[in-house]
C-alpha cells in the first residue's frame, strides 16, 4: 500500500493536504517526503517470495513530479533538485531499487474520479478531473510510449472494472504476477484475458503489449512487483 498515513501525519503535519491546498508552496516538501517513503518501501526486507508495492519511486518522478513541473506548480529549480536526488538514488549501487514487473492498472480518468469521490478522502476534495487527465496522459507517456525509462517489463490491465471483477482478473494473472517474466516471453492483452506467447525478436510492441523490457529476478530471491494505478480501487 502507499504510505498515505505517513504523508498525512509527518510529525503532526498533513503534507498531503498542504500540497493539495497550495502546491506551489508545498510540492517540493511533499514530493521529497514521498521520495523518502518510496525508497523505504523499495528497500524494506521481505521474507515472502513476491513483494507487491502500490506505485513507486519511478511513478512519483515520471508522473506526479513531471505533472507539477508541466502545470507550472513546481519551479524548475525545485524540479532539478528532485531530479538530481532521483538520479542519484536509481544509479547508486548501494541502494537496491530493482523491479521485476510493473502492472499498469489502466483506468479512464472519469472512472478514477468516481473512485476518488466514492472514497471521500478529506484532502482529495480539491482534485479536479483535469488533474487526473494530466496524470493519465503521463502514465501513458511512460508505460505505453516509453518517453521515460522503464525499470522492468510492463503488463497492462483494464482497471475500469469494479473491485469484484478486478479480483477475478488478478486471479487469472497469478502465473504472470507470481511467475517468471524473461527474455523468452511476451505478455499480450487480448480482451483483458492476458496470455503468454513466444516473443518475436525485433517485433514492435502493440499498444496493449505487456513486455516492454526484460529483467529477471536475481539473487534476491524476492520478486518485486509495482502497480501503477491512476486511482486505487474502492479503498479509504
* Nearest C-alpha neighbor of 83 from the set 100, 66, 98, 104: 66
How far, CA to CA in Å, does 216 sit from each of 13, 157, 182, 183, 224?
40, 21, 6, 8, 10
Contacts of 93 (CB under 8 A, 6+ apart): none
The three cell numbers of residue 167 are 479480483
* Nearest C-alpha neighbor of 28 from the set 59, 68, 63: 68
The burial class, CB within 10 Å (0-12 / 13-18 / 19+), for 23 is: buried
Which segments of the chain are extended strands (E)? Answer: 50-54, 101-106, 154-158, 185-190, 193-198, 223-229
Q: For residue 186, indicate whether it is catalytic.
A: no
Taken in order 198, 200, 201, 207, is the CA torsion positive or negative? negative
149: Cα within 13 Å, side-chain hemisphere: 9
| Residue 52 near residue 225, CB atoms below 8 Å | yes
Which residue shows C-alpha cell 498525512?
A: 8
Catalytic residue among 2, 21, 54, 114: 54
How far, CA to CA in Å, does 203 sit from each of 145, 182, 192?
15, 16, 21
As annotated, the active-site residues are 54
Amino acid at each position: 500500500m502507499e504510505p498515505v498515513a505517513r504523508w498525512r501525519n509527518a510529525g503532526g503535519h498533513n503534507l498531503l493536504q498542504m500540497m493539495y491546498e497550495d502546491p506551489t508552496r508545498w510540492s517540493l516538501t511533499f514530493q521529497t517526503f514521498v521520495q523518502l517513503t518510496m525508497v523505504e518501501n523499495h528497500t524494506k526486507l521481505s521474507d515472502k517470495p513476491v513483494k507487491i508495492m502500490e506505485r513507486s519511486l519511478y511513478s512519483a518522478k515520471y508522473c506526479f513530479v513531471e505533472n507539477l513541473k508541466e502545470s507550472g506548480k513546481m519551479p524548475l529549480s525545485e524540479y532539478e533538485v528532485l531530479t538530481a536526488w532521483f538520479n542519484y538514488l536509481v544509479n547508486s549501487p548501494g541502494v537496491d531499487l530493482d523491479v521485476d514487473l510493473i502492472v499498469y492498472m489502466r483506468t479512464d480518468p472519469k472512472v478514477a474520479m468516481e473512485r476518488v469521490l466514492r472514497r471521500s478522502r478529506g484532502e482529495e476534495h480539491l482534485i479536479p478531473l483535469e488533474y487526473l487527465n494530466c496524470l493519465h496522459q503521463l502514465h501513458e507517456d511512460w508505460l505505453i510510449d516509453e518517453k521515460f525509462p522503464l525499470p522492468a517489463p510492463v503488463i497492462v490491465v483494464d482497471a475500469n472494472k469494479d473491485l469484484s471483477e478486478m479480483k477475478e482478473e488478478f486471479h487469472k494473472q497469478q502465473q504472470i504476477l507470481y511467475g517468471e517474466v524473461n527474455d523468452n516471453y511476451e505478455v499480450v492483452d487480448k480482451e483483458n484475458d492476458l496470455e503468454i506467447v513466444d516473443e518475436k525478436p525485433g517485433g514492435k510492441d502493440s499498444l496493449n503489449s505487456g513486455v516492454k523490457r526484460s529483467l529477471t529476478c536475481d539473487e534476491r530471491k524476492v520478486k518485486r512487483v509495482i502497480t501503477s494505478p491512476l486511482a486505487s480501487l474502492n479503498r479509504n
